[in-house]
Structure 1
Amino acid sequence: MDLRSDLPGQLRRYVRDGRISVMRGARLLLLDHVAQAFEPGRRYPETAVNEILKGIYDDHAALRRYLADEDLLSRTPDGTYWRSGGTVPLG
């Protein structure tokens, strides 16, 4: 996911060089935008989730936890993730 494209104006100040630089201030809006990197209905192994998130934020494990805490991603005990919330663009 490249945060340089299609980023809402209010979030641009939290992103540098296509990566989240600061999480506080617009955390839920940023997380909602990150959740859009995951296709609704698709299942992802934890390694795939980590690879996506590593390109977005330095602490990918914390970002994964934030997404789960906000019910944007859900997880099975064996480490399979799926998108369970967030905005879905109409198109």
Structure 2
Amino acid sequence: MTSALPPKVASLFRDGRLEVIPRKAARRDPLLDHLAATLFEPGRDYREVEVNEAIRTVHDDFPALRRYLVESGRLSRAKDGSSYRRAI
């Protein structure tokens, strides 16, 4: 997995797993771009469990990454909370 990672993101992974979620937004943003682009298809609705499962493939703290993806506008959440969609 790391061979296809952008250079700014590759240093965050080890053996295909995300080791740490960067605290600073400037360092976290390229990671979120990468995750949104590689884990979620454009135009498809995802149930929360599907979002969690996708994120869990790279890191165990899926609630934090899901929140960052939504707060940054990379994933949108339906008003009723029933689904998510890649926003970029």
TM-score under structure 1 length normalisation: 0.82
Partner of 2:64: 62
RMSD: 1.4
1:61 CA drift (Å): 0.7
1:78 maps to 2:76 = no
Structure 1 stretches of at least 4 aligned residues deviating more than 6 Å after TM superposition:
none
1:60 CA drift (Å): 0.3
- Secondary structure (helix, strand or coil) at the match of 1:67 reads helix
1:78 CA drift (Å): 3.2
1:10 CA drift (Å): 2.3
1:17 CA drift (Å): 1.5
Q: For residues 3 and 66 of structure 2, what CA distance do their matches in structure 1 show?
A: 21
- Secondary structure (helix, strand or coil) at the match of 2:11 reads helix
Q: For residues 3 and 16 of structure 2, what CA distance do their matches in structure 1 show?
A: 8
Which consecutive unaligned segments of at least 5 residues does structure 2 have? none
The number of residue pairs the alignment matches comes to 83
Partner of 1:15: 13
Alignment of 1:7-46 (within 5 A): 7-24=5-22, 26-36=27-37, 37-46=39-48
- Give me the identity figure in percent: 45
Which consecutive unaligned segments of at least 5 residues does structure 1 have? 86-91
Cα deviation per residue 1:26-71 (whole Å; 9 max; x = unaligned)?
Answer: 2000000000121111111111111101111120011000000100
Per mean C-alpha deviation after superposition, the further-off stretch among 17-26 and 73-82 is 17-26
